[in-house]
């Protein structure tokens, strides 16, 4: 990792700059595939599964039997671990049920909100070297708590055309029955547009590579909501003399192993700590099977030595990290100042991997600085709010004249008239 000592404030933006992802070239591919999915439906899904995944798929839908049988291929140990995680995720997300009361803003004018589930949602689970079953839990559990009526899940098949049984087991556990062996752009296109087999949905969730990200953006232009824009995963660790270099190094590496483009930043006001972490990194790196990936990620990563905890906090808020690990003596001093971050891990015994898997918080978080404007996924991501209002005759007498004046000033005469005809009738009734 590159060590930067006491940078000036005017250098911070440049030091914290993330790599720019060029998406323009992908638009053409995405548009073409979406067009074919729209016109050819399932046939287009099969065509592109052959083209990209080199698999001929007959049945796009995974059968209920396959889902049910999945548990036979998984160790009891893993099943139990998944259940522990699922329970915690359920417990934390259940408390996120938004509430609303009826507010009388003016006498006779009552306003309130109601939260309803998004009827149809789509979850995308990437393929690749490992089965990301944890994301099934992170998206499927809040969808179920929210009460989404239709939950569709797409994930690419392996070279035998199968879905990893752990993913299917997670689906079964959270109650997802509509699982399709489709990946990439064509999966997002299918959920956005609908085909003979795949129902269209109103919102699409889930991580993915740059193709999936581009496809989600296109879906979003078509009016299908998406969870958030995606970018490479990242962590910022703030540490002082109270932190354990071995632990800090293990956290940095668990971010670095995600991919060569992972962003890893360590900020400290203790120079010795940076050196100690560097030594630990080299030690632990050698034992990792993903050593090559992690090394590449670390080469792009930075250790920043700052003057004080306050400066570290400013840098962190400027960066807006997806994950923020706070391994410092006086954590309470810093906690209140955190403005921009996806998820925060506090203390020596709270590794990021706890939140990635099992503590209960969601691991679908804003990266690439989007923490400045986006929340991570939560129960609310699967719901929307509707406002309601009811006005009595008395209420309209109180409020009506103000509405008439404002509507007139905006030159919206019919808006004014909708009040006037009512006020006139109330007058007549009273006369």
Q: Report the catalytic residues.
A: 322-323
| Ramachandran assignment for 5, one of left (phi > 0), alpha (psi -120 to 50 degrees), beta (any other) | beta
Q: Which of residues 32-71 bind its own copies (CB under 8 A)?
A: none
**According to CB under 8 A, which one of 44, 45, 82, 174 is a site residue for its own copies?**
82
The binder of its own copies chosen from 25, 118, 172, 199 (CB under 8 A):
118
Other Cβ atoms closer than 10 A to 194: 17
- Residue 60 or 366: the one with the smaller Cβ distance to its own copies is 366
- Asked if residue 159 binds its own copies (CB under 8 A), the reply is no
Is residue 292 near its own copies by the rule CB under 8 A? no
- Residue from 178, 181, 203, 302 binding its own copies (CB under 8 A): 203
User: Does the protein bind its own copies through residue 360 (CB under 8 A)?
Assistant: yes
DSSP H or E run through 387: strand 383-391
Provide the minimum distance between the beta carbon of 263 and its own copies in the complex, in angstroms, as a whole number.
15
Site size for its own copies, by CB under 8 A? 133
Only segment of 55-63, 184-192, 302-310, 417-425 that touches its own copies (CB under 8 A): 417-425
User: Residue 134, interface with its own copies (CB under 8 A)?
Assistant: yes
Q: Among residues 29, 61, 33, 30, which one has the least CA distance to residue 47?
A: 33
129 lies in the binding site for its own copies (CB under 8 A): yes
Binding characters for its own copies, 166-185, by CB under 8 A (x = yes): x-------------------
Q: Give backbone dihedrals phi and psi of 25, rounded to 5 degrees, phi first.
A: -65, -25
Whether residue 45 contacts residue 198, with contact meaning beta carbons closer than 8 Å, is answered with: yes
- Please tell me whether residue 138 binds its own copies under the rule CB under 8 A: no
Give, for 274, the enclosing helix (H) or strand (E): helix 271-285
361 lies in the site for its own copies, by CB under 8 A:
yes
**Segment contacting its own copies (CB under 8 A): 56-64, 129-137, 188-196, 264-272?**
129-137
CA distance to 11, 67, 360, per residue, from 353 (Å):
31, 27, 11
Among 350, 428, 429, 431, binds its own copies (CB under 8 A): 350
Which stretches does DSSP call E strand in 139-297?
A: 150-154, 178-180, 203-205, 225-226, 234-239, 263-268
d(CA 421, CA 431): 15
Nearest CA among 191, 170, 173 for reference residue 182:
191
Our CB check for its own copies shows the closer of 305 and 311 to be 311
- In the complex, minimum distance from the CB of residue 267 to its own copies, in angstroms, rounded to a whole number: 18
Q: Which stretch binds its own copies (CB under 8 A): 37-45, 49-57, 78-86, 191-199?
A: 78-86
Q: Does 307 bind its own copies (CB under 8 A)?
A: no
Contact 185, 48 (CB under 8 A): yes
- Residue 3 vs 386, nearer CB to its own copies: 386
CB 141 → its own copies: shortest distance, Å? 12
Rg value, the chain, Cα: 26
Spatial neighbors of 355 by CB under 8 A, at least 6 apart, are: 323, 343, 345, 361, 363
């Amino acid at each position: 990792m590159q060590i930067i000592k006491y940078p000036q404030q005017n250098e911070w933006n440049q030091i914290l700059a993330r790599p720019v992802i060029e998406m323009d070239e992908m638009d053409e591919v995405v548009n073409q595939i979406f067009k074919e999915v729209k016109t050819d439906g399932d046939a287009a899904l099969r065509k592109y599964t052959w083209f990209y995944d080199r698999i001929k798929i007959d049945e796009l839908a995974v059968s209920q039997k396959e889902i049910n049988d999945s548990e036979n291929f998984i160790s009891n140990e893993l099943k139990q671990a998944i259940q522990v995680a699922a329970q915690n995720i359920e417990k934390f997300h259940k408390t996120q049920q938004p509430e609303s009361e009826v507010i009388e803003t003016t006498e006779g004018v009552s306003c309130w909100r109601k939260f309803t589930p998004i009827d149809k949602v789509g979850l995308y689970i990437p393929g690749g070297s490992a089965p990301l079953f944890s994301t099934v839990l992170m998206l499927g559990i809040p969808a179920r708590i929210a009460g989404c009526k239709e939950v569709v899940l797409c994930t690419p098949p392996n070279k035998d055309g199968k879905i990893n049984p752990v993913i299917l087991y997670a689906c079964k556990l959270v109650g997802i029955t509509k699982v399709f062996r489709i990946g990439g752009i064509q999966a997002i296109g299918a959920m956005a547009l609908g085909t003979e087999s795949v129902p269209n949905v109103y919102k699409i969730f889930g991580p993915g590579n740059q193709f999936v990200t581009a496809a989600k953006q296109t879906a979003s232009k078509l009016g299908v909501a998406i969870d958030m824009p995606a970018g490479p995963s990242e962590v910022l660790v703030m540490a002082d003399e109270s932190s354990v270099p071995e632990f800090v190094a293990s956290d940095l590496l668990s971010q670095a192993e995600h991919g060569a483009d992972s962003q890893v930043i360590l900020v400290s006001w203790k120079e010795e700590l940076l050196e100690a972490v560097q030594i630990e990194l080299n030690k632990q790196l050698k034992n990792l099977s993903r050593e090559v990936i992690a090394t590449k990620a670390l080469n792009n990563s930075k250790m920043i030595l700052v003057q004080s905890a306050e400066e570290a906090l400013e840098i962190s808020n400027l960066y807006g990290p997806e994950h923020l690990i706070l391994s410092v003596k006086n954590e309470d001093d810093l906690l209140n100042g955190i403005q921009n971050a996806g998820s925060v891990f506090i203390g020596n015994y709270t590794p990021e991997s706890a939140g990635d898997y099992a503590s209960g918080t969601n691991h679908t978080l804003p990266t690439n600085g989007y923490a400045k404007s986006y929340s991570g996924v939560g129960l609310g991501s699967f719901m929307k709010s509707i406002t309601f209002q009811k006005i009595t005759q008395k209420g309209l007498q109180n409020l009506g004249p103000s509405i008439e004046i404002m509507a007139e000033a905006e030159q919206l005469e019919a808006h004014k008239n909708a009040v006037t005809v009512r006020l006139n009738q109330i007058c007549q009734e009273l006369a």
